[in-house]
Amino acid sequence: MITIVEGAERERHPTLFDEMFRMRAAVFVDRLEWDVTVTDGREIDRFDAEDPLYVLSLDDRTAALQGAARLLPTTGPNMLRDVFPVLVPGGAPASPLIWESSRFAVNPAAFNACDRAEANHVVNRMTIELLCGIVEVCQRAGIEHVVSVFDARMARIFRSIDCAFEVIGTPTRIGRTMTYAGVFDMSDAMRERLGEAGRLPGSVLAAAERQGIPAARHA
């Protein structure tokens, strides 16, 4: 089940957001060894102060956090423009119809007890559900494309589940990994392909979210 929370409302969900920031630290620092700041066990950056839209995957039965992603309009501060400009020498996209996805993560706690084969299946299912949620949220908000920065590992995952993207700018080695900027089409065709890959033909959004997706911000 996918639920969404606007950044300005995150104080209404303190436990959920504490879990999400701790999950980000576990994923991006402990597992991937990214050079990001962790404070008191939580990974929070300056873009979390920009009123992003959080896409959260929750367990249908327990409501435990399974994964998360963050969406920001490209007309304001965003990671591609302000942190990774080397990837787009010609300039990052900036349009009210293009948003950025960042801090995409699947919760390690959801598969730590699994054997390797089962863990891969769990990660794959949660990844596809999150991607389906992003497409559905964007479609309801009038967002036509999503841009994202990702590494070679994620590029392989996207290709394996038919999540097509167009590389923009210049792929560059950052740290130990090749890093890309890519644009994803938030189309019915994209949602259909992801649905087939994850056997998720119906909406993954919680009922409340289907009724009230925030409109795309134009500034």
Buried b (16+ CB within 10 A) or exposed e, 13-43: eeebbebbbbbbbbbbbeeeebeeebeeebb
Is residue 151 a part of any domain in this protein? Answer: yes
**Residue 88 falls inside a structural domain:** yes
49 belongs to a structural domain = yes
- For 69, the 3-state DSSP assignment is strand
The proportion of the chain whose per-residue pLDDT surpasses 90, expressed as a percent, equals 74
Residue 150 included in any domain: yes
- pTM as predicted: 0.90
- Residues 199-217: tens digit of each pLDDT: 999 999 987 665 555 545 4
Asked if the structure places residue 217 within a domain, the reply is no
Beta-carbon contacts of 155 under 8 Å, excluding residues fewer than 6 positions away, are 165, 180, 182
User: pLDDT band at 219, cuts 50/70/90?
Assistant: very low
Residue 218 lies in a domain: no
* pLDDT exceeds 60 at position 176: yes
The burial of 217, by beta-carbon neighbours within 10 Å (0-12 exposed, 13-18 middle, 19 or more buried), is given as middle
**134-171 CB burial, b ≥16 within 10 A, e <16:** bbbbbbbbebbbbbbbbbeebbebbeebebbbeebbee
Tell me how crowded residue 116 is: count the other CB atoms within 10 A of its CB: 8
Structural domain of 9:
2-211
Q: What is the mean pLDDT of residues 171-198?
A: 94
CATH code at position 76: 3.40.630.30
The structure tokens listed for 31 are 């597992």
- Give pLDDT tens digits for 66-86: 999 999 999 999 999 999 999
Express each pLDDT in 83-104 by its tens digit: 999 999 999 999 999 999 999 9
Residue 157 belongs to some domain of the structure: yes
Residue ranges with strand state E in the chain: 2-6, 38-39, 42-43, 53-58, 65-73, 98-106, 145-151, 166-174, 177-185
How many Cβ atoms from other residues are within 10 Å of residue 211's Cβ?
9
Within-domain flag for 179: yes
Total structural domains in the chain? 1
Q: In this predicted model, what pLDDT tens digit does every residue of 35-46 receive, in sequence order?
A: 899 999 999 999
